[in-house]
């Protein structure tokens, strides 16, 4: 006779301790249900946590319980009845076993007619918690699954008009801090195409830029340098095409950056087939700055040349993020 198990959690965020719990549960049952219970007010969106757990738990039935339920028995006189009813929507019968690392598992299992199996309650096997990860993700980076890392990685955006030294600076900062850098996706895309931007390119460029940043964050130690961002795509789409898809404009306002280094266009102009406005750099500079100011985003200016420019940028990163460059 096959056995069914239940793992219930907030997974705020998922970490190695949760994966240890799920792995131990899967060894003991034929079917495992993982219920992700979330509240709208929590700092990481519930739908995202459910997606992460689906990625991390292949072969399990992952359910998203997005209901404003009481969080402690003292919060509501019908606490256990409410939770039992909510779980029964996903598990009309069973489970046979309830797996937790918490004392509440005894009563939850009793209410569901199951047996409680408590896994590593002292957190000795995997000493980490969601609270600890949220407080200092870089200190617990090795215990954050790869798919979760883009949420916590520190992102430094090199920002500014054409020929402002963004790429060269991103490369040098990447080397100095031992962190990956993400080239401007639009440049590679248009180079391969051999033509200027067209409306159909914009969604592809935005998706490619974000996917590249997320891939870098997955492989990083918690810091990523970005040679472009969605705001840059919006400005050039408006300049060359006169319009931008509304969803791209909305995304440009929501896409976070932990530090924006505004690269002043005070370097010599370098010819390139994708660059066509050497005399309009001051005008673009004001447009770039106005867009940040309109969105209420803080930024740090980087100017000058050579080592002075690089040292100023390196110092800004260390000061803003509390991350020291490699010796």
The range of the structural domain enclosing residue 121 comes to: 4-143
Do 274 and 180 share a structural domain? yes
Q: What average pLDDT is seen over the chain?
A: 92
Tens-place pLDDT, residues 224-283: 999 999 999 999 899 989 999 999 999 998 888 999 999 998 877 666 645 676 677 888
| 327 within domain boundaries | no
Q: What pLDDT does 271 receive?
A: 66
* The pLDDT of residue 298 is above 60: yes
Do 111 and 206 share a structural domain? no
User: Is the distance from CB of 241 to CB of 121 less than 8 angstroms?
Assistant: no
User: Is the distance from CB of 8 to CB of 100 less than 8 angstroms?
Assistant: yes
* Mean pLDDT to the nearest integer, 159-177: 92
Nearest CA-CA partner of 101 in 122, 87, 80: 122
Last residue of a domain, one of 86, 110, 143: 143
Tens-place pLDDT, residues 8-46: 999 999 999 999 999 999 999 999 999 999 999 999 999
Do 224 and 292 share a structural domain? yes
Do 166 and 221 share a structural domain? yes
- CA–centroid distance for 268 within its chain: 36
Do 200 and 232 share a structural domain? yes
Last residue of a domain, one of 123, 143, 163: 143
Domain count for the chain, please give it.
2
CB contact set of 256 (below 8 Å; sequence gap of 6+): 155
* The pLDDT of residue 319 is above 90: yes
């Amino acid at each position: 006779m096959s056995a069914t198990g239940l793992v219930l959690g907030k997974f705020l965020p998922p970490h190695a301790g949760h994966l240890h719990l799920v792995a131990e549960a899967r060894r003991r049952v034929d079917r495992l249900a993982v219920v992700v219970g979330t509240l709208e007010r929590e700092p990481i969106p519930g739908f995202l946590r459910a997606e992460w757990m689906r990625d991390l738990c292949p072969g399990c039935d992952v359910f998203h319980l997005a209901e404003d339920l009481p969080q402690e028995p003292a919060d509501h006189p019908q606490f256990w009845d409410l939770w039992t009813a909510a779980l029964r929507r996903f598990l009309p019968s069973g489970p046979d076993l309830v797996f937790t690392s918490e004392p509440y598992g005894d009563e939850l299992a009793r209410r569901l007619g199951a047996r409680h199996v408590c896994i590593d309650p002292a957190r000795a096997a995997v000493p980490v918690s969601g609270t600890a990860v949220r407080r200092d993700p870089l200190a617990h980076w090795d215990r954050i699954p790869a798919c979760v890392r883009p949420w916590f990685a520190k992102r430094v955006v090199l920002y500014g008009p054409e020929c402002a030294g963004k790429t060269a600076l991103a490369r040098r900062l990447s080397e100095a801090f031992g962190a990956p850098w993400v080239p401007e996706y639009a440049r590679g895309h248009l180079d391969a195409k051999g033509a200027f931007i067209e409306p159909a390119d914009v969604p592809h460029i935005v998706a490619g830029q974000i996917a590249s940043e997320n891939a870098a964050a997955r492989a990083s130690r918690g810091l990523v340098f970005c040679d472009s961002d969605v705001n840059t795509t919006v400005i050039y789409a408006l300049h060359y095409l006169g319009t931008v898809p509304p969803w791209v404009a909305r995304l440009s306002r929501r896409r976070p950056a932990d530090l924006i280094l505004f690269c002043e266009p005070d370097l010599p102009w370098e010819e390139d087939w994708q660059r066509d406005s050497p005399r309009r750099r001051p005008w673009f500079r004001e447009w770039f700055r106005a867009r940040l100011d309109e969105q209420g985003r803080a930024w740090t200016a980087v100017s000058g040349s050579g080592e002075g420019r690089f040292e100023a940028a390196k110092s800004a990163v260390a000061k803003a993020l509390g991350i020291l460059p490699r010796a």
